[in-house]
Structure 1
Amino acid sequence: MTLRWAARILLVVAIVLITDLALQPGTALPPRLFGTDKLEHFGAFLMLAVLARIAWPGAPRWIGLLLLVGYGGGIEWLQAAGDAGRTASIGDMVADTLGVVAGLGMSAWIGTRRTAHI
């Protein structure tokens, strides 16, 4: 199995897990200290962006940005539309978007560093 295929499989697994966690009833969530919720969103979407770049290195970054930010928006919409005691949050969307931008930026920087040394 190549690194690209491993990243694709991990990306699908991560999306399934993140979606499941995001749609859990609000009462099932553990209490969080000091706004770590936003750090969790940032880290999760940074990881998704990095996995997407490894899985499809030739794809334009703006496509990854649109798809992953759209996915984050979809989660927020489902939380608002559902009856699990969850609400949509602009703060979560901002954290998701910043995570995607950081992940794509980090992978671009690493990619340029790798090609500079070859």
Structure 2
Amino acid sequence: MNPQFYGKIVVTVGVIAITYLALTPHATIPSIDQANDKLKHILAFAFLACTTTLSWNWSWKKVFFLLLFYGAAIELAQSGIAGRHASGYDIVADVVGIFVGLLLSTIFRKWRLNSQKKPQ
């Protein structure tokens, strides 16, 4: 099997884990401060953007809007969960993470392409 297949499994597991953590009531998750919360959003969405881009041959626009929709859907769902609330700042952190992940995947693809061109 090719690496993209394994990447798709990693993305799927990541989406399941992030969705579970995002939709679990706060009482069951240790308290975190706001700065840590935004950092976790950035890291989660950077991970999803990078692995999604590398696992599927989708345009950056498709990945961006798919993950933006996913982040907004999570925020909307959180508004109906006890101890959770929707936050526009969380969506901003998601967007920052998406851009970081897209940048990392672009850098990795260029590095991989250059390393394949060099004679060994």
Common fold, TM-score beyond 0.5?
yes
- Whether the 8 Å CA contact 1:27–1:85 is kept in 2: the answer is yes
User: For 2:33 and 2:61, how far apart are their aligned partners in 1?
Assistant: 34
Match of 1:62? Answer: 61
Structure of greater Rg: 2
Give the percent of matched residue pairs that are identical in Structure 1 and Structure 2.
Answer: 35
Matches of 2:113 and 2:19, distance apart in 1: 35
Counterpart in the other structure of 1:17: 17
**What's the CA shift string for 1:12-61, capped at 9, x where partnerless?**
111011101101112222122461111111001000011101211x3111
Distance 2:90 2:105 in 1: 22
- What is the match of residue 75 of structure 2? 76
CA distance, structure 2, for counterparts of residue 3 and residue 65 of structure 1: 22
Deviation of 1:108 (Å) = 1.0
Q: Does the CA contact (< 8 Å) of 2:49 and 2:101 recur in 1?
A: yes
The answer to whether 1:89 aligns with 2:69 is no
- Note if contact 1:23-1:84 (Cα within 8 Å) is conserved in structure 2: no
Which residue identity lines up with residue 42 of structure 1 in the other structure?
I
Tell me, in whole angstroms, the C-alpha distance in 2 between the residues paired with 1:64 and 1:104: 8
Describe the shift of the 1:112–1:15 C-alpha distance in structure 2 as closer, same or farther (beyond 3 A).
same
**Aligned counterpart in structure 2 of residue 101 of structure 1, from 83, 99, 102:** 99
After TM superposition, the structure 1 = structure 2 runs for residues 30-69 of structure 1, keeping only pairs within 5 Å, are 30-33=30-33, 35-56=35-56, 58-69=57-68
**2:2 matched to which residue of 1?**
2
Tell me the TM-score normalised to structure 2 length.
Answer: 0.89
Shift >3 Å, 4+ stretches: none
Measured in 1, the distance between the counterparts of 2:86 and 2:113 equals 41
Which segments of 5 or more consecutive residues in structure 2 lack a partner in the other structure? none
